[in-house]
Amino acid sequence: MKLVTFQTKSADSTPSLGAWITGDRIVDLTAVASDMYEFFEQNCIADAEKYIDQTANSADTSDSMFSVADVQLLAPFPRPASLRDFGVFKTHMDAASRITGKEISPEWFKLPNYYRGSTSPSSIAGHEAVVTWPNYTEKLDFELEWGVYIGKTGKNISIEEAPEYIAGYTIYNDISARDIQFRHMTLALGPAKGKDFDNSNIMGPCLVTPDEIGDPYNLRMVARINGEVWADGNTSDMYYSFAEMISFVSQSETIHPGEFLGSGTVGNGCGWELDRWIQPGDIVELEIENIGVLRNQIGEPEVNPAEWTEKGL
């Protein structure tokens, strides 16, 4: 099942839960669950399947079915309970080692590593949202990633049990202001404002449940800028599986529905690795097999206040 959170384009529209079905149609699932949290907390998949069948066969679908072109797709969870972004693609780590001249830490091969990203309402965005160009960066970058949402509560989860906790998969574009990011990281923290700004965490266009994803570790990943392929990779390059990531995070820590775990960047899946940089007005399309295409346009640079310019920002 492909689940979405969407809004109609009317002025008073509020976010609704929906299912993306064949023919690029969205079935409104508000009658089944109020939002994505309730859907997974109450295990509404069977009810949703029944409702979709009834709606698809109904003579009047004017209030319950919409064309994808007529709605705005938000991030599947418009405000994830948490966001952890890992770095599990070996080819990306090799590139980082080559660019920085630093060897991959031996610890990377022993335990998965992640940072906590922003889940503020302004930082999470969806399909077709305009990407903010922060007023303090000259090198804005995309990152071709994907991730999973947690579907149920658990703690101290084994690797074998971990797949049961996956609600679904989505595409993730981790927008990054590279110049300020690397400055922050010299302070032994970061990435801070390198990744914290409006519309910096883009997810979508849908959440695909595990039964429809196929083999999650053999999916093609492609990034196109203005229609040109910049990156072409595969999920098979992941050194750690999502099951290992979930199990690791859950050790002595309870995880809850709606938490998001990102994969990190696929090899050659960002401008930093390629030394090619997106520009204002560019169209960025990230495509992952069996999920779809996440498309966004890069906005115009915002104006930097004089006082922060003087301080060196």
What pLDDT digit, counting tens, does each position of 204-222 carry? 999 999 999 999 999 999 9
- CB 240, CB 63: distance < 8 Å: no
What is the token pair recorded at 149? Answer: 């949402």
In a domain, 229, yes or no: yes
Q: Return d(Cα 133, Cα 123) in angstroms, integer.
A: 13
In a domain, 311, yes or no: no
Task: Quote the distance between the C-alpha of residue 28 and its chain's center.
Answer: 22
Q: Are residues 209 and 300 in the same domain?
A: yes
* Residue that terminates a domain, selected from 52, 74, 96: 74
Q: Which of 11-25, 76-90, 274-288 has the lowest mean pLDDT?
A: 11-25
Q: Are residues 167 and 42 in the same domain?
A: no
- CB 195, CB 64: distance < 8 Å: no
What ranges in 127-269 are assigned the alpha helix state H? Answer: 178-185, 242-249
Give 49-63 pLDDT, tens digit per residue: 999 999 877 767 778
Q: Give the residue-averaged pLDDT of 88-112.
A: 94
pLDDT given for residue 187 in this prediction: 82
Question: 3-class SS at 65?
Answer: strand
Q: Are residues 144 and 36 in the same domain?
A: no
What is the token pair recorded at 236? Answer: 């098979």
Q: What are the phi and psi torsion angles at 49 (to 5°)?
A: -60, -40
- CB 168, CB 149: distance < 8 Å: yes
Q: Give the residue-averaged pLDDT of 259-272.
A: 97
Domains contained in the chain, number: 2
pLDDT given for residue 191 in this prediction: 87
Q: Return d(Cα 166, Cα 157) in angstroms, integer.
A: 12
Kindly state the greatest CA–CA separation across the chain.
Answer: 65
What is the percent of the chain where pLDDT is above 90? Answer: 82
Q: Are residues 70 and 87 in the same domain?
A: no
Q: Are residues 14 and 141 in the same domain?
A: no
Q: Give the residue-averaged pLDDT of 105-125.
A: 94
Torsion of Cα atoms, 58 then 62 then 65 then 67, to 10°: 130
Letter string b/e over residues 44-64, b meaning 16 or more CB atoms within 10 A of that residue's CB: bbeebeebbeebeeeeeeeeb
* Residue that terminates a domain, selected from 74, 106, 135: 74
Closest CA to 196 of 259, 115, 270: 115
Q: Are residues 68 and 88 in the same domain?
A: no
pLDDT at 47 over 90: yes
Full residue range of the structural domain in which residue 41 is found: 2-74
- CB 212, CB 22: distance < 8 Å: no
In the 8-state DSSP scheme, what is residue 238?
B
Q: Are residues 60 and 36 in the same domain?
A: yes
What ranges make up the beta strands (E) of 126-200? Answer: 130-133, 140-141, 144-150, 166-174, 176-177
